[in-house]
Structure 1
């Protein structure tokens, strides 16, 4: 096992999980129907679940590369979808 595998996973959990949770919260806030305040609240509540799942994912996969890919790829997808939704939405 590589010496940097555990520190890399810790960084993936902390930074990658944070990025995934934030982009997921923004996507949910942009996509959920109802009032803006309610959508933001539900998005923020869901971000705690997303972050917890990301941390568990990072430490359950076989390699640090899979851990990084498992948090960064969905994070970029959520961010891109949120950006697309916000571009087409009303101001």
Structure 2
């Protein structure tokens, strides 16, 4: 299960980088905000996958549990914020 989470984290990070570069090239517009919200969602998925992997599927030390919990909390917060922002901006696009 740990390997699957690492693959998910790498794929989500690659999607994050690609989306951030695409958003950086655009002028300030609604499409740029949509891409930025997608990037935030991908960053949240990356951090969540790494946090779950550190907290639950590795050797248990106190530092790994704490770092995993922090990654999990910040990853979920980024994912939720990115989802809400994407939902908001996508509704304005129509």
TM-score strictly above 0.5: no
Report the TM-score, using the length of structure 1 for normalisation. Answer: 0.38
* Larger RCO, structures 1/2 (Cα 8 Å, 6+ apart): 1
Report the TM-score, using the length of structure 2 for normalisation. Answer: 0.37
